């Protein structure tokens, strides 16, 4: 059962990050947003940060959906 993160605005999001490769001074792997119940792969550290930022700022529909 996943919680709707919009119902709990004061709760901080939780992410599980699995780095599978380190190449060219960057990371590749997967990230799981615990409250959103979604897992995505990322190809760079910048993409990882953007996914986290979108989840925190409420723009999860565009990048997590």
Domain count, the chain: 1
Confidence category of residue 53, pLDDT binned at 50, 70, 90: very high
Task: Tell me if 64 is assigned to some domain.
Answer: no
The answer to whether residue 50 is domain-embedded is yes
Q: Full-prediction pTM beyond 0.75?
A: no
Would residue 28 count as lying in a domain?
A: yes
* Residue for token pair 């709990």: 8
Q: What is the pLDDT of residues 11-47, one digit of tens each?
A: 788 999 999 999 888 999 999 999 888 999 999 999 9
Whether 25 contacts 35, CB under 8 Å:
no
Residue 17 in any domain: the answer is: yes
Q: Spell 24-57 as b/e; 16+ CB within 10 A means b.
A: eeebbeebebebbebeeebeeeebbeebbebbee
User: Can you give the pLDDT at residue 1?
Assistant: 42
Range of the domain at 53: 5-58
- According to the model, what pLDDT value does residue 61 have? 56
Q: Is the pLDDT of residue 48 over 80?
A: yes
Give domain status of residue 23, yes or no.
yes
Residue 16, domain member (yes or no): yes
What are the structure tokens assigned to 45, written together? 């550290």
**Which of 40, 41, 55, 65 lies closest to 6, judged by CA?**
55
Question: Is 65 a member of any domain?
Answer: no
């Amino acid at each position: 059962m996943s919680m709707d993160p919009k119902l709990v605005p004061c709760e901080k999001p939780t992410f599980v990050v699995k780095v599978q490769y380190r190449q060219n001074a960057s990371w590749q792997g997967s990230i799981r947003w615990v409250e959103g119940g979604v897992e995505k792969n990322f190809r760079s550290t910048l993409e990882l940060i953007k996914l986290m930022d979108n989840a925190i700022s409420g723009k999860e529909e565009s990048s997590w959906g």
